[in-house]
Structure 1
Amino acid sequence: MPPMSGAKVPDLTALNLPTIADILILSEVRRGHPTIEAAANAINRPIRWVHVSEVADIAHLLRGGELILSTGVALPNTDDGLTRFISDLADARATGVVIELGRRFSTLPTALVQSAEAHSLPLIALHNEVPFVAITEAIHSIIVNAQIRQLQFGEVVHRTFHSLAAEGATLQNIIDQIAHLADCPAVFENVAHHVLAFAGATTDNPEIIDDWEQRSRKAAWADQTSFIDGEHWIATPVGARGQVWGRLILFPAPPLRPLQQTILELGATTLALNLLIEREENLLEHQTHRTLISDIIEHHYSSQDEIHTRAQSLGVTTRRQLLVAMIVLSDRGAPLSDITRHARAREEATAVSRALADADAIGLVGLIEPGRLGLLLSAPTDARMNSLLKAVATAIHERANQLTPVGSTVIGVGSPVKSIDDLHHSFADANQAAEAAENLPGDHLFVTTAEIRLRGLVHLMRDDPRIQNYAVRELGALVTYDERYHTDLIATLRAYLEAGGNKSTAAATMFMNRATFYHRLSKIEKILDCDLQSVESRSSLYVALIVHQSLDTQGHKHRRPPRGPSSPSGKA
Structure 2
Amino acid sequence: MRSTFTVADALLLETLRAGEARVLTGDDGLDRPVRWVHSSEISDIARFLRGGEMLLTAGLGIGSTDGQQRAFVRGIAAAGAAALVIEESGRAFHRVPRTVVDEGVRCGLPVIALTHEVPFAAVSAEVHDVLTEQQLQTIKREREIETLFSTQLLDGGDHVGVVATLAGLVGGTVVLEDVNHRVAVCEAAGGVFDASSWERHARVLHGSHTECVRRPVLARGQIWGNLHVLNGRSADVNFSVDVVTERAATAIAIALLTDRSREAIDDQRSTALLTHLMLGELTGPEFVEQAAHLGYQLGAADLFVAIGNKAGDAIASDPKRTRIPVGPNAISADMGDYVITVAPRAGRTRFETAARADDRFLGGGCSRNLPADRIGLAVRQAKSAAAVARTTRRWLNFDELGVERILVGLADGPELAAFVEDELGPLLNADAASHTPLLPTLRAFLEHDGRKTDAADALYIQRRTLYNRLERMSGILGRSLDDADTRQRLTLALKALDLMQG
The TM-score with structure 1 as length reference comes to 0.49
Give the secondary structure class of the aligned counterpart of 2:192: coil
Q: Counterpart in 2 of 1:154?
A: 142
Query: Which of 46, 57, 76 is the equivalent residue of 1:59?
Result: 46
- Please report how far the alpha carbon of residue 176 of structure 1 lies from its aligned counterpart in structure 2 after TM superposition: 3.2
Paired with 2:160 and 2:209, the residues of 1 have a C-alpha distance of 26
Query: Which of 246, 256, 268 is the equivalent residue of 2:249?
Result: 268
Segments of structure 2 that go 5 or more residues without pairing to the other structure are: 268-295, 297-314, 326-331, 371-376, 398-502
- Please report how far the alpha carbon of residue 44 of structure 1 lies from its aligned counterpart in structure 2 after TM superposition: 0.9
- Please report how far the alpha carbon of residue 450 of structure 1 lies from its aligned counterpart in structure 2 after TM superposition: 3.0
Q: Counterpart in 2 of 1:240?
A: 219
- 1:539-558 aligned within 5 A: none
Q: Counterpart in 2 of 1:188?
A: 176
Q: Does the 8 A contact of 1:49 with 1:67 survive in 2?
A: yes
Q: Counterpart in 2 of 1:42?
A: 29
Matched, 1:171 2:102: no
1:168-197 Cα deviation digits (max 9, x unpaired): 313343123213443544343555755634
Paired with 1:39 and 1:250, the residues of 2 have a C-alpha distance of 29
Per the alignment, do residues 196 and 76 of structure 1 end up closer, same or farther by CA in structure 2, a change over 3 Å counting? same
Paired with 1:448 and 1:59, the residues of 2 have a C-alpha distance of 77
Paired with 1:100 and 1:60, the residues of 2 have a C-alpha distance of 21
1:9-59 Cα deviation digits (max 9, x unpaired): xxxxx1423211112222321222222122221111111111121111212
Query: Which of 206, 209, 215 is the equivalent residue of 2:197?
Result: 215
- Please report how far the alpha carbon of residue 73 of structure 1 lies from its aligned counterpart in structure 2 after TM superposition: 2.3
- Please report how far the alpha carbon of residue 71 of structure 1 lies from its aligned counterpart in structure 2 after TM superposition: 0.9
Matched, 1:377 2:336: yes
Q: Does the 8 A contact of 2:171 with 2:235 survive in 1?
A: no
- Please report how far the alpha carbon of residue 125 of structure 1 lies from its aligned counterpart in structure 2 after TM superposition: 0.7
Per the alignment, do residues 365 and 74 of structure 1 end up closer, same or farther by CA in structure 2, a change over 3 Å counting? closer
Q: Counterpart in 2 of 1:450?
A: 388
Give the secondary structure class of the aligned counterpart of 2:33: coil
Please tell me the residue identity of whatever aligns with 1:48: R
Q: Counterpart in 2 of 1:482?
A: none
Paired with 1:129 and 1:237, the residues of 2 have a C-alpha distance of 50
1:34-92 Cα deviation digits (max 9, x unpaired): 22122221111111111121111212222221111111123212222111212222222
Give the secondary structure class of the aligned counterpart of 1:235: strand
Paired with 2:167 and 2:255, the residues of 1 have a C-alpha distance of 17
- Please report how far the alpha carbon of residue 161 of structure 1 lies from its aligned counterpart in structure 2 after TM superposition: 2.7
Query: Which of 56, 69, 82 is the equivalent residue of 1:82?
Result: 69
Give the secondary structure class of the aligned counterpart of 2:23: strand
Give the secondary structure class of the aligned counterpart of 1:133: helix
Per the alignment, do residues 16 and 61 of structure 1 end up closer, same or farther by CA in structure 2, a change over 3 Å counting? same
Q: Does the 8 A contact of 1:219 with 1:228 survive in 2?
A: no
Segments of structure 1 that go 5 or more residues without pairing to the other structure are: 1-13, 287-343, 345-361, 379-388, 415-426, 460-572
Per the alignment, do residues 237 and 31 of structure 1 end up closer, same or farther by CA in structure 2, a change over 3 Å counting? same
1:349-402 Cα deviation digits (max 9, x unpaired): xxxxxxxxxxxxx95444448735996836xxxxxxxxxx6xx73xx53xx67x
- Please report how far the alpha carbon of residue 273 of structure 1 lies from its aligned counterpart in structure 2 after TM superposition: 2.3
Paired with 1:243 and 1:149, the residues of 2 have a C-alpha distance of 32
Paired with 1:57 and 1:281, the residues of 2 have a C-alpha distance of 57
Per the alignment, do residues 163 and 368 of structure 1 end up closer, same or farther by CA in structure 2, a change over 3 Å counting? closer
Q: Does the 8 A contact of 2:33 with 2:82 survive in 1?
A: yes
Paired with 2:322 and 2:162, the residues of 1 have a C-alpha distance of 32
Q: Counterpart in 2 of 1:251?
A: 231
Please tell me the residue identity of whatever aligns with 1:445: A
Give the secondary structure class of the aligned counterpart of 1:188: strand
- Please report how far the alpha carbon of residue 276 of structure 1 lies from its aligned counterpart in structure 2 after TM superposition: 3.1
The TM-score with structure 2 as length reference comes to 0.55
1:441-467 Cα deviation digits (max 9, x unpaired): 99443433735999x8899xxxxxxxx
| Identity across matched positions, percent | 23
1:471-493 Cα deviation digits (max 9, x unpaired): xxxxxxxxxxxxxxxxxxxxxxx
Q: Counterpart in 2 of 1:229?
A: 209
Structure exhibiting the larger radius of gyration computed from Cα positions: 2
Please tell me the residue identity of whatever aligns with 1:220: A
Q: Counterpart in 1 of 2:361?
A: 430
CA RMSD of aligned residues (A): 4.6
